[in-house]
Structure 1
Amino acid sequence: MIKSLRNLLSFASIGLAALAPSIAKAQTYCATNHSYGCYYAMNSFSTSGGTTNISNTSIPCSSSWGPTNPNTMYTSGSHTGLIGSTVNYSVNVNYYWGMYTAIWVDWNADGDFSDAGESVHSMYHYYSYGTSGSFTVPSTANVGPTRMRVMSSMYNSPSPCWSGYDYGNTVDYTFNVTSPCASVPSVTTTAYSKSAVFNWPAVAGSVSYDYRVTQSPNPSSPDVGNGNTSSTTATVAGLTPSTNYYIHLKNKCAVYPSSWASYPFTTSACAPPLPSFSNVDHNSALVLWSSVSIASRYEYIVNTDPSEPDLTATLNSTNASSVKLTGLDPETTYYLHIRSVCGTTTSEWDMASFTTMDECIAPTVNLIPSSPNDMEVTWQPTPTAIAYEYAVNSSATPPSLGTTEYDNSVTVNLPADKKQYYFHIRSKCISIFNSSEWSSMLLREGDPTAVSNVNGDGLLVQAYPNPVNDIVTVQVDGDKAVSGTVTITDVTGKLISATTVTESKTNISMKGLAAGVYMVKYTDGAQSQTFRINKL
């Protein structure tokens, strides 16, 4: 069952003392080899001064000549000490006439003993069965579990990765570094599919907090997000849905940091959809998004603010995977904020943006006559136009279709029939199927005695808009019969519909037809006209 992302879940801290041996042992350290065995070797080691101490009074080596445990051993014994505290140690060997002993501590927990300050004891003692001493846990030590290595060698001054012909042995122990700085006691996690928000109580004396998110309970494992903050909240993004993670928090006091406190959480399976945009023009856009299998619906808002919607925002809701946006302003950047609703759970918001185009407007026409019947028509380019469409006829009403022109001028030669003629033009933007309104100009006044005959028989038929979404209007003017018929066929000649026309304007539905080219034909028995219509 998917838990509501609105539930704020508090998790108990993972005990670092319990994790210490396993984490320290999991780190990769070099092995050693004392090839002659442990007949002459260290036989006991102990510490004091810590909150827990080591007491290994019998380091095994049962072979008289040859190795039983001469190489690196890892024991469950551990020493726990505060930063700044003193560690007292005692190391004993079974050979009186002289042996080397050495101790290293991996203070920065990086898997080796080669850093400055990590060699805390090294000496050759003779006429003695052992030695004792002390060292201090440095302020730079990494808080948490690390490893301490104790070695004996008969012939050679030890190095932490010694291997060769020698008597001796090596024993590794866990060293838990603790801090007087209190750790973060609890955390409240709000987990989404790809991000999580963490809140924790303020710790007295804190200067700031380090945080890391990993897929392992080990704070030093590779992280997917980290940071430092002086507040008591953090957000980590870039997570994977339905995945187990850990948030690790370290309190940083004025002198020492605390140990890491680790808390598990699981991201939600309710992810936001991935939106995209299509058919963006000056006042509309089509938004599409990928379906989320467990989503019952989607909530969205479109505005000019990139900020995430607040709790008072009015949201739109749909169970579809697309929406047509209308009534937009030209040349404006809009932000779509969208999230999934999965039962009682909501995903985080996803945001995507788009910018509307400049409005597709008709060009302004300039007339340059060379005679009463001959003239050049020019116009200024429209910034968003890819082409223009024009027509010349005797009607002040623009036609449904015209001639495509890619230049910014045409030459017009009118017949010497003394009729009036108009020049109609519109811009084609985005594609040749997206047009501005028509702009019309009178080219020549007609003689009052002349007859305006559009197609030679007094009939003017128009079909608009073109392209068409749902309804095409057929307008019949001039000399026409009492009634006529409008037929719509596809490009194969298949009859789609037939409508009787008795009025000057008739609306015909093309809703439900597939997108493409259709032929609209008007006939009244004596005359006819045919138009090519593009259905969107």
Structure 2
Amino acid sequence: MRKHYLLWMIFFLSVYQLNAQTYCVPTAGASGQNNYLKNAVFSDQGGLYYTATAYQAYADNSSSQIVTSYPGGTVNVHLDFAGSGVKSYIWIDWNNDGDFDDFYENPLGPSSYSVVDDQFFIPPSQASGIYRIRVQSGTSFPNPVNPCGPNNYGNFVDFSLKIDASPTCFVPTTLTSSGITNNSAIISWTAPTTAPGSYEYYYTSSTTIPDASTPISGTSNTISAPISGLLPFTTYYFYVRSVCGTSKSAWSLRGIFKTRCDAKTSMFEDFENAASGPSNADCWDRIILGTGYQTIASGSGVNNSKAMYQSANGAVNTTIAVLPMFSNVNAGTHWLRFKAKVSGTAGVLDIGYVTGDTDASSFVNIQSVNISNTVYDGYEYSVVVPNTVPANARLAIRHGGIPSVSIYWDNVYWEPKPTCFAPTNIVLSNATSATANITWTAPSPAPAMGYDIYYSTNNIAPTSSTAPSITGVTANPYTIQGLNSATTYYVWVRSRCSSSDQSAWSNIASILTLCAPVAGLSENFDSYATGLLTNAPCWGRIVTGIAGVNINGNGAFSGTRHILQRSISAGDISIAILPVFTNINAGTHSLKFNAYCSVNTGKLEVGYMTNPADAASFTLIQQLDITNTSYTPATGSSDYTVTIPNTVPAGARLAIRNTYALSGNAQYYWDNISWAPTQTMNVHENTTQTKTGIYPNPFTDVIMFTESKNLKSVRIYSTSGQFITEIRNFENTISLKDLASGVYVARMEMKDGTSHTVKVIKK
């Protein structure tokens, strides 16, 4: 703030004739409309209040928004802008000549804050009259700055300043409120330097500003007054003026408070009706210490709705969410239930109460809740509130800052506690290919009829009507049996207190059963997510350097997924490890797959691993020359088969290896891999067998075969080699009525392992 009391100016202004003037209409907003004046308050011996809900390049409020002061007075200024980092200038036409070009006609500026709280001073000999105020805001101004514009990154707003003779009765200041309940409050203020004989006050739930004729609400001989009969959860505005004998001051700058809510007996809060940002939901409060942070965040709640977000780094930065007042907070009959998650590292929420809803030191902890889940689904937390909580306390959820993590919570209930409590701390362990162990912490009191267990291969939580997989379990730990190998199971437990009283299901737990050795394999990777090969259960991978073996989603031989394998730089090795086969050394099976390489000199190695964690245990069976640079279903040149000898050690695992030393930075793609008996062919049958033919050709909807006894399947491709469909398990005809008219390639796979192609035409 600045004082400008210049003797020559005092003389100049005291004799200047005041006249109404025409002011320039400023230009603004050509380049940006996000940095406008949103709120303004000017106050001294009377105040003006301005609020904008949308951008205006220029708003002239000089006839309706007037602040009153006096020679030598001080005008307090509060400015709030829509943008951030906004600069502002305040101009005053002290000599009423229709411009802002004279000395001291820019008493404030430039500021560079999103909120400005400052003041300017009225020259001691300023003549009575009305003077134009202009506020200019923006992020960038021309040099020199011009109160007429252009102002391409902000706006202009005009107000008026009324100078009266020095008052004999001054306005009270610093209005505050305290002792706020659902229907009452105490208002207070600071007396002016020359104290009056008494005060009058006025309060209302309307934003309409009182004037000299507004009926008062009450009087006080002190600097405070109690007011009552208020509505709950309502914002009130109050004003005070001094009474000095027969004269009265102007009304003060207004004070604001909001009454408390009526006490509740139950609650559900999902924050959907609350504004996003650091505001509170209805009837909630918050306490922030240091740099603690609490806000209602969009897209962070259950089903991507709104949620409460708390972040704190250390105890000095605690944040506390204060819940609404409950009339039954100490009844001992209710609990607080909610969903919560963390963004990564596990965190802790303290559930307790405060006896002062603005005092962090009044927090008393009831129970700390450890939260490690990063999703809401399947997880819920509850805390029973004892009857020892003071009747006037308010429940609170505190993030104490240790550890420093981000925590989100949603769907908060205050409700009667159940008669049967769920077990907690569900832990699954010791998985085999068919079993898994489960343990839990029993509630208190323990259920009379044991526990129910529900498990599933999907993570959809059971409801109260869901039939348990196992019921009446009394052993803890317990072994779940009859599971499928290489399968993720989701498990819940509930207490069975009686035949008609069961608890809610516990939080979710999951486990992946081990792989069981198999005698055969047919895999196209379509049912797994793209990413590491290990997304496919029972497969393994070893990479050194920056090599990769990944499930890829582009250009598969058939379906939507295949494998991309490569070694990128010197020393790199990538190995794809197949599941365990029971018959790996039977000498009766072959490994078959479709493959191509990004270069026509590709070399891929097929072998076995005696230690699936050690790249050095790879033993080569056969090196394949991958000379085709695309899948070639029409010709079969992308088909590769390796016969596995009976010299492979029992317990070894087949593997496909790519090394930079052998291939350089080549990319290999392979798909439709199978482990099946090696096809043998009777020489006499092969020489006498006639190739299967297709007729009619061209066809309309159905094709038939000249001989189908030895036909295993038919694959249909476009003439460019794109796979379209495969037909198995048919007699002598197949329907292709869903194909569009055109030319196709039909590839017939025979039971003896041979194949041949025929071009077919659909009419």
TM over 0.5: no
Please give the TM-score of this superposition, normalised by the length of structure 1. 0.26
Please give the TM-score of this superposition, normalised by the length of structure 2. 0.19
Higher strand share: 1
Bigger radius of gyration: 1
